[in-house]
Structure 1
Amino acid sequence: MPQSPEPADDRVLIVEDHRLFAEAVDLALTAEGYDVCRVEAPADPSSPGTLVASILKQRPRVVLLDLDLGRFGDGVRLVEPLAGSGAGVVVVTGSTDRARWGDAIRSGARKVLSKSEPLSEILAAVRRIIAGLPVMDREEREELVAEWTRHRFEAQGLQERLELLTVREREVLGHLMKGRAVREIAGLSVVSEATVRTQVKSILAKLEVSSQLAAVGMAHEIGWRTPVL
């Protein structure tokens, strides 16, 4: 298998769907003398391989990667193949979810930075990677990966509880996630309100929560998909 070409020493590639932010970072890096280019994420979320190939074709030394890439979806799935190619991946994100940060780090990102940080922090990370220096200490790295691990086990527990629901209870939870009240659910399902209330009570008991709002929040947290209603 042919080896990937060596990355250009000073090339920084930006993968960011927020155009204004991307332009600001581009200008700042260019002013520092870096060779900067950008690759837009496709609208098709099922084509990560195509995007990775487009990025690697530019032979970047550093990739500045957003986690939320519009219709393409979660950018974290790009981290492992990019890092595996030898590029230094720095995630620059508006997300404050430290479990997602940990997922990026365990996948091979060298650093995660918040978009609320000054541009000088991004420049410093790029400068250190190109100089062959570390950009994150071991303690911070382990803390973020541990956060991801905790979240993964919590999500697994939530999923197991959701799987306890009957088909009908899943339908009711789906209605609740769409903001429908008990009366409306009863009308749509052609059953009594008392029946729906009993079903809601069973849902809360199985999910070990005390309110409909908490049940809906739990389902959203793990990306649970509602039945077709």
Structure 2
Amino acid sequence: MIRVVLADDESVVRAGVRMILAADPGIEVVAEAGDGRTLVELVREHRPDVALVDIRMPDLDGLAATTEIRRTVPGTAVLIMTTFGRDSYIARALADGAAGFLLKTGDPREFLLAVRAAAEGGAYLSPRVAARVIGELAGDRLARGSAARERIDVLTRREREVLGLVGAGLSNAEIARRLHLVEGSVKTYVSTILGRLGVRNRVQAAVLAHEAGLADLG
């Protein structure tokens, strides 16, 4: 069972997201919060697999809450929800260690996909958000690509294969099937890759894979 703490300052939104998640019998909302500080307290208390967090909340906004959760409860993956798609929000959320970014106006099925991906150690970007991120990367592709290729020089051939599939959006289980490995080995590879590249999570690793041209391996 995937345990989720849900946070949004609008009770109607929380009720709607709760109903979406209830459609999956493998997901359980264990607690809800209407502000950032209560969210952090509930995450510390319940230690959920995933925290689904609105970007704009009183007392402590979703971005600041993400930073605190990642610092104090690193085992909890954080997914950011918003009605906005501003690039500055996306960049900061990813830099703060968020496992994904969802638009509230997107397809409700994205919530289920995102929660499952985050709980499995993966990452999820709403397609509309991903398009913006890739568009930003395209603005300075040559410089970014050169720097990214230098960074991945520290990886072995197998680690580059795994990174390419992470960039293609595959989960650990999917990567294991693709490369004929056990899932535990993939988790070890991913952990090693993150450490060697100096990135905080799979989203940042995926962006680096795109910059280096490795995501085409997917």
**TM-score class, shorter:** 0.5 to 0.7
Structure 2 partner of 1:28: 20
**1:125 and 2:117 equivalent?**
no
Q: In structure 1, give the amino acid aligned to 2:33.
A: E
State the distance in 1 between where 2:9 and 2:125 align. 25
Instruction: Map 1:81-96 to 2 at 5 A.
Output: 81-84=68-71, 85=73, 86-96=75-85
Change (3 A) 1:76 1:134: closer
| Aligned twin of 1:37 | 30
Q: CA deviation at 1:141?
A: 10
SS of the residue corresponding to residue 108 of structure 1 reads: coil
Q: How do 1:140-179 residues align onto structure 2 when only pairs under 5 Å count?
A: 140=130, 143=133
Alignment of 1:1-16 (within 5 A): 9-16=1-8
Contact 2:55 2:62 in 1 (8 A): yes
In the aligned structure 2, how far is the partner of 1:125 from the partner of 1:114?
A: 11
Amino-acid identity (%): 24
Matched AA of 1:20: V
Query: Is 1:104–2:93 an aligned residue pair?
Result: yes
* Distance in 2 between residues matched to 1:91 and 1:22, nearest whole Å: 13
Which segment drifts farther, 60-69 or 123-132? 123-132
Q: 1:51 to 1:132 in 2, by over 3 A?
A: closer
Q: TM-score, normalised by structure 1?
A: 0.50
Equivalent in the alignment of 1:200: none
Is contact 1:11–1:35 with CA below 8 Å preserved after alignment? yes
Tell me the C-alpha RMSD between the 2 structures: 2.9
Task: Name the structure with the higher helix share.
Answer: 2
* Residues 106 and 128 of structure 1, relative CA distance in 2, 3 Å threshold: same
Shift of 1:51: 4.1
What is the distance in 1 between the residues matched to 2:118 and 2:85? 23
* C-alpha displacement of 1:136: 4.6
* Cα offsets for 1:102-129 (capped at 9, x unmatched): 1111001011111110110111011112
The amino acid of 2:21's aligned partner reads L
Give the 4+ runs in structure 1 shifted more than 6 A.
Answer: none
Tell me by how many angstroms 1:53 deviates.
2.2
Q: Alpha-carbon deviations, 1:62-103, whole Å to 9, x = none?
A: 11100111x325221011221232211110111232201211
Q: Distance in 2 between matches of 1:31 and 1:83?
A: 28
Alignment partner, residue 50 of structure 2: 62
Structure 1 residues 132 and 75, CA gap change in structure 2 (3 angstroms):
closer
Does structure 1 conserve the Cα–Cα contact (< 8 Å) formed by 2:87 and 2:132? no
* Structure 1 unpaired stretches of 5+: 1-8, 148-229
CA distance in 2, matches of 1:31, 1:109: 24
Q: Which runs of 5+ in 2 are unaligned?
A: 138-218
Change (3 A) 1:51 1:125: closer
TM-score (norm 2): 0.52
